[in-house]
Amino acid sequence: MVSDITVVGGGLAGTEAAWQAAQRGARVRLYEMRPRKMTPAHTTDRLAELVCSNSLGSDLVDRAPGLLKHELRALDSLIMACADTATVPAGGALRSDRDRFAQAVTERIESHPNIEVVREEVTGIPAGVAVIASGPLTSERLAAEIIKLTGSEHLYFWDAIAPIVTLESIDFSIAFRASRYGVHGDGTVTAPGEHLGEGDYINCPMSRDEYNGFMDALLGAETATLRDFELRSDQFFEGCLPVEVMARRGRDALAYGPMRPVGIKDPRTGKRPYAVVQLRQDNIAGSLYNVVGFQTNLKFPEQDRVLRMIPGLQGAEFVRYGQMHRNTFINSPLLLDATMKFRHKVIDAERTVDPATHSIFFAGQIVGVEGYIGNAATGLLAGLNATRALRSWPLIELPPATMLGALCYYVSHADPKTFQPMKANFGILPPLDHPPRDKRGRAAMYAERAHQALANFQASIDDAKLTAPALQPPMAPPQP
Ligand SMILES: Cc1cc2nc3c(=O)[nH]c(=O)nc-3n(C[C@H](O)[C@H](O)[C@H](O)COP(=O)(O)OP(=O)(O)OC[C@H]3O[C@@H](n4cnc5c(N)ncnc54)[C@H](O)[C@@H]3O)c2cc1C
């Protein structure tokens, strides 16, 4: 089959993108490297395999993930249609039988007359109109090509998470509660004379000697081996550097970074400590705290040893150790429009592929969206816009008042210096004009406004009902 659009990756985003384009009459070649080349997480050859949990999140319309699902259903999403045929009971959440779900997606994609599935690894940026949806575990050879396109400073390979300790294991004869400068998370300020114990953070103070001893231990500690890639510090998202990588930047790097003591007074001495490790509440019950800024790749026994040198944490019980996991994602705010199209203009001439021959869209986890359905959602928009690009129609952005529009807007407009993957949540929607005071009332109003915005959008868009003028002649056949 001569193809009009190449889709790279048969995951949640790639299958949705392929489906949307094929339903609009475009001929799609979908490349999926499994089973010939597996990722470290997938175990089958099926398209849209759910790699971990089988929960697709809330299906209640007044919850952010639920609102997103309702929008996708309204937009004829393949992933939602298949999820709805493979549900298992789970209260207000949508939980799928993972085998039935992936099987349903595979069958519908493979039997679509406009889709050809090619089981091959793509090792270059395809020419013509293409959607790159190769996911958090993008193969190394393709990642190397994406680097040429984006610059290595704009493609991240790793996410690091911080350890979590139980509240009851913290020694409060040393640690104390206080917010920096007495300013709490809700914006209120500790009144003069008010006890600092009401602060949002638990603080573990260090003297200069304690800090130096801790730095020596940290710099000498063994890290876990990471597979697949030789690790370079520029492969981390800068706002989420492992603490040991930060420590290597200089002896005071942590004292000026996550361990900075400014605005904190130790109630035992009345003075500012030399350095301070802060712990932030991690669960609603307040029984768990994460060690702020201490995302790490130290081996677990080394975390026990080194982190217990922190005053107040000598008896710490770790319910989760810090860990690093592969998560390939681009700096979308610099590189993408809210249409999911790659912006050639921000890349210097040496790196870029020719915009005259390449029309590139990105979708899925690689754009910095989190969650199965969020990733399918960006695939939907990328597939829709790839088809419009093929026909030289103007590309579309979804209204920011919809959850899908807000997600796409967020990843393309967030601060590129601090960009982190984002999941569906009400916080990314534009504020309400007259928000009700109660949370559920606000959520219902967000949902109502999103429905209205989506209905208006669908009424205004020429291809929402799949009718389309004849296709232009196909572009140059894509190179795998
Ligand atoms: C270990 C792990 C656990 C996770 N657990 C969860 C969870 O519980 N819940 C959740 O919501 N999200 C989870 N995620 C995130 C999850 O990956 C995404 O939500 C979702 O799968 C991303 O969809 P995607 O289409 O972007 O990528 P994927 O679903 O991963 O699809 C990408 C596809 O591209 C293929 N591919 C890669 N490179 C190439 C190439 N060069 N050529 C051809 N094909 C290629 C891959 O084989 C894969 O099938 C997890 C991720 C990982 C890595």
State if residue 137 touches ligand 1 by the CB under 6 angstroms criterion: yes
Cα 314 to ligand 1 centroid, rounded to whole Å: 38
Pocket test of ligand 1: the residue of 20, 34, 52 to mutate, having most ligand atoms within 8 Å of its CB, is 52
**Ligand 1 in reach of 34 Cβ (< 6 A):** yes
pLDDT, position 184: 52
Beta pairing, strands 5-8 & 128-132: parallel
- Determine the Cα–Cα distance for residues 48 and 35; give it in Å rounded to an integer: 13
Q: Are 439 and 418 in contact (CB under 8 A)?
A: no
CA distances from 229 to 235, 366, 402 (A): 10, 17, 38
Q: Could you tell me the CA-to-CA distances from 334 to 57, 415, 430 in Å, in that order?
A: 29, 9, 21
Q: How far is CA 80 from CA 64, 102, 280, 301, 325, in A?
A: 15, 12, 36, 43, 28
pLDDT string in tens for the chain (480-residue length): 778 999 999 999 999 999 999 999 999 999 999 999 999 788 899 999 998 777 888 899 999 999 999 999 999 999 999 999 988 766 677 878 888 999 999 999 999 999 999 999 999 999 999 999 999 999 999 999 998 888 877 787 777 778 889 999 999 999 999 888 765 544 555 444 444 444 678 999 999 999 999 999 999 999 887 654 445 545 565 666 889 999 999 999 999 999 999 999 999 999 999 999 999 887 656 788 889 999 899 999 999 999 999 999 999 999 888 887 778 999 999 999 999 999 875 555 555 677 778 899 999 999 999 889 999 999 999 999 999 999 999 999 999 999 999 999 999 998 888 787 888 988 889 989 999 988 899 999 999 999 999 999 998 886 544 444 333 333 343 444
- pTM, entire model: 0.75
What is the CB neighbour count within 10 angstroms for residue 382? 34
pLDDT of 466 reads 41
Dihedrals phi, psi of 353, to nearest 5 degrees = -90, 165
Atom of ligand 1 nearest to the CA of 139: 38
Q: How far is the CA of 137 from the centre of ligand 1 (A)?
A: 6
Which run of H or E residues covers position 450? helix 439-460
Q: Which two tokens stand for residue 290?
A: 């994460």
pLDDT at position 465 is 43
Domains, the chain, with CATH or none: 5-157+327-460 (3.50.50.60), 163-321 (2.40.30)
Of ligand 1's atoms, which has the minimum distance to the CA of residue 53? 8
Pocket perturbation via mutation, ligand 1, pick of 15, 125, 137 by most ligand atoms within 8 A of CB: 137
Candidates 269, 247, 271; CA nearest to 258 is 247
Q: Mutation test of ligand 1: which of 37, 155, 365, 381 has the most ligand atoms closer than 8 Å to its C-beta?
A: 365
Ligand 1 in reach of 42 Cβ (< 6 A): yes
Token pair of 428, please?
Answer: 């990314």
Question: Cα dihedral sign for 98, 100, 101, 107?
Answer: positive
Yes or no: say if 94 and 441 are a contact pair by the CB < 8 Å rule: no
